[in-house]
């Protein structure tokens, strides 16, 4: 009955009080946000959040951050030789958040609604769900981050009809969603995003300027693997400078290196010019989302700013100019997603016929019905022989931005006459994209198929996508009657390399 916003740089947890209002749950230090940072100690429990950040200054090689963007992989996050995968780090982070929430609410936390970037691939989603499962938390619903913010803003819009654009510029990802409220119905019309675009990328621009100045003065510049303490130290200074440049004309950064120091004076004009290409990437995604929703910009009623990076005045002004709308920040941009997740948790319990309570007091469920859309197209691998060379491509069955839950079916021919088996690869990627550019999220094998004298569209493939965006696939041979189903195993989320037989 809580909402968890597991952010790239910071996490927030929220609950709904007996008045129906969402509130942030402070962590054990009294902070409303917990840095997404883990430090592995030798013989004690890992440190999390601000404690991990502080310890990282002494021993940065055992400190991990920004691991949300690596969910779905099994690489180690540490440079010390110790193993810590992104899923393991996320599980440690969630364990701390759960403990803090239980202490604050004086109750056991066994269920939650979690959020993730709208453009998260399915292997990353599955890794996030596994991290919750390791802590005994059942995820009632996995809500895309801009949808979570949309739910928070829709709360006081019920009974009316309005369409708003959620501009979500976070620490590691950028998402945009077009959301329509019509009475109690909240519908996501379209979603777009840039997977590797966030406040961290703005920080890298400042870091590059600082390293260039150091190289100019000393003839060389530090490398992360050689001087991790230097980079851990400047990360805090860079973040502070970024925030200050929002309102100040000039901000100095002092960095100690090689027995000396460098003072870099960053001007606001330089800062705006440097980050402008990044901001333009976000606005291109905005235009794609509006077009995918089948709307003109003039049909959008409100611009909702979400995510810590969206606080920068330059970004707010750019979004306002592109949409001709005044940026709304009446809900704290860094908290809106967690608020929406908390509201969704109460709504999900109500859908199951259950009532949420805190201290014996009933929490009113919001009268709200939310429908989201798919963030990625899902199809299967087929042979395209329309060109001079055969290509293995993604034949899309469920297009991007299809309302979910959904169910769709398509039919395919076998590749060869007298073929007796078919390997169906479930792909996530753009329509007609090369197989190697898509994510393989599952596969089915139909064997001992009866041969045909003349090929027909005999292989029927059905995809079902649930409200969390998770896929179940069924392949049926309509000639011989054989059928197989699979709930996609996202642990096998790797780019395919070996050429299969196409359906």
Cα 503 from Cα 498, distance rounded (Å): 15
Please report which confidence band the pLDDT of residue 277 belongs to, taking 50, 70 and 90 as the band edges. very high
Does residue 159 carry a pLDDT above 70?
no
> Using an 8 Å Cβ cutoff, are 10 and 34 in contact?
yes
* Mean of the per-residue pLDDT values of the chain: 88
Dihedral of the alpha carbons of 100, 106, 111, 113, in degrees to the nearest 10: -60
User: pTM of the entire structure?
Assistant: 0.84
Q: For residue 205, is pLDDT > 50?
A: yes
What pLDDT, in 10s, does the model give residues 356-415? 887 778 888 777 778 888 888 999 999 888 888 889 999 999 999 999 889 999 999 988
- Residue 347 confidence (pLDDT): 85
* Stretch (H or E) spanning 370: strand 369-373
Predicted pLDDT at 376: 84
Assess whether pLDDT exceeds 80 at residue 110. Answer: yes
Residue 54 neighbours by CB under 8 Å, 6+ apart: none
Task: Set out the domains of the chain in order of their start, with CATH numbers.
Answer: 2-197+276-373 (3.30.420.40), 378-492 (2.60.34.10)
Out of 10-19, 158-167, 234-243, least confident range: 158-167
Asked if 436 contacts 495 with a C-beta cutoff of 8 angstroms, the reply is yes
- At residue 20, φ and ψ (nearest 5 deg) are 90, 5
Whether 496 and 425 have beta carbons less than 8 Å apart is answered as yes
Integer Cα distance of 238 and 205 in angstroms: 10
Rounded Cα–Cα distance for residues 349 and 346 (Å): 5
- Binned at pLDDT 50, 70 and 90, residue 158 comes out as low
165 near 301, Cβ under 8 Å? Answer: no
Q: Which stretches of 219-359 are DSSP H helices?
A: 228-244, 268-292, 313-323, 336-351
Q: What percent of the chain has pLDDT over 90?
A: 47
pLDDT band at 491 (very low <50, low <70, confident <90, very high): very low
**Which letter does DSSP use for residue 353 in this model?**
T
Q: Alpha carbon of 388 to those of 173, 367, 384, 385, 500: distances in Å?
A: 39, 57, 10, 7, 20
As a residue count, the chain comes to 503
Phi, psi of 65 (to 5 degrees): -150, 170
Distance CA 59, CA 457 (A): 61
Question: Please, which residues bridge with residue 357 across strands?
Answer: 362
Q: What is the pLDDT of residues 31-43, one digit of tens each?
A: 999 999 999 988 7
């Amino acid at each position: 009955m809580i909402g968890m916003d597991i952010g790239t740089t910071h996490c927030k947890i929220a609950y709904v009080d007996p008045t129906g209002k969402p509130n942030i749950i402070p962590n054990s230090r009294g902070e409303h946000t917990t840095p997404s940072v883990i430090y592995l100690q030798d013989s004690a429990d890992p440190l999390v959040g601000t404690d991990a950040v502080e310890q990282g200054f002494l021993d940065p090689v055992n400190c991990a951050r920004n691991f949300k963007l690596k969910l779905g992989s099994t690489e180690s996050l540490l440079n010390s030789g110790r193993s810590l995968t992104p899923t393991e780090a996320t599980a440690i982070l969630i364990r701390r958040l759960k403990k803090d929430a239980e202490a604050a609410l004086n109750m056991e936390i066994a269920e939650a609604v979690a959020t993730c970037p709208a453009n998260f691939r399915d292997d990353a989603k599955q890794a996030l769900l596994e991290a919750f499962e390791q802590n005994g938390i059942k995820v009632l619903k996995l809500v895309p981050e801009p949808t979570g913010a949309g739910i928070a803003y829709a709360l006081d819009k019920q009974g009316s009809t309005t369409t708003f654009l959620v501009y979500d510029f976070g620490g590691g990802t950028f998402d945009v969603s077009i959301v329509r409220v019509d009475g109690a119905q909240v519908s996501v019309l379209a979603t777009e995003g840039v997977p590797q675009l966030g406040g961290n990328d703005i920080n890298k621009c400042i870091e590059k300027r600082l390293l260039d100045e150091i190289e100019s003065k000393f003839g060389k510049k530090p490398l992360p693997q050689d001087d991790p303490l230097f980079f851990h130290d400047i990360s805090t200074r860079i973040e502070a400078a970024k925030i200050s440049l929002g309102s100040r004309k000039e901000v100095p950064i002092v960095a100690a290196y090689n027995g000396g120091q460098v003072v870099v004076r960053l001007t606001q004009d330089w800062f705006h010019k440097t980050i402008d290409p990044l901001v333009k990437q976000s606005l291109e995604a905005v235009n794609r989302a509006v077009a995918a929703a089948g709307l003109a910009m003039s049909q959008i009623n409100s611009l909702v700013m979400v995510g810590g990076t969206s606080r920068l005045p330059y970004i707010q002004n750019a979004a306002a100019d592109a949409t001709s709308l005044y940026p709304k920040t009446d809900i704290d941009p860094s908290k809106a997603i967690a608020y929406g997740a908390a509201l969704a948790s109460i709504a999900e319990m109500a859908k199951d016929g259950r009532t949420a309570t805190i201290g014996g007091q009933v929490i009113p469920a919001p009268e709200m019905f939310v429908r989201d859309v798919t963030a990625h197209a899902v199809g299967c691998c087929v042979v395209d022989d329309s060109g001079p060379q055969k290509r293995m491509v993604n034949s899309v069955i469920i297009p991007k931005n299809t309302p979910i839950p959904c169910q769709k079916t398509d039919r395919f021919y076998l590749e060869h006459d007298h073929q007796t088996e078919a390997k169906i690869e479930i792909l996530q990627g753009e329509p007609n994209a090369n197989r190697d550019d898509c994510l393989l999220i599952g596969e089915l094998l139909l064997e001992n198929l009866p041969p045909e004298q003349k090929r027909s569209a005999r292989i029927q493939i059905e995809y079902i996508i649930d409200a969390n965006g998770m896929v179940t696939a069924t392949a049926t041979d309509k000639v011989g009657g054989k059928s197989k189903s699979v709930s996609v195993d996202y642990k096998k989320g790797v780019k395919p390399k070996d050429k299969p037989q196409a359906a």
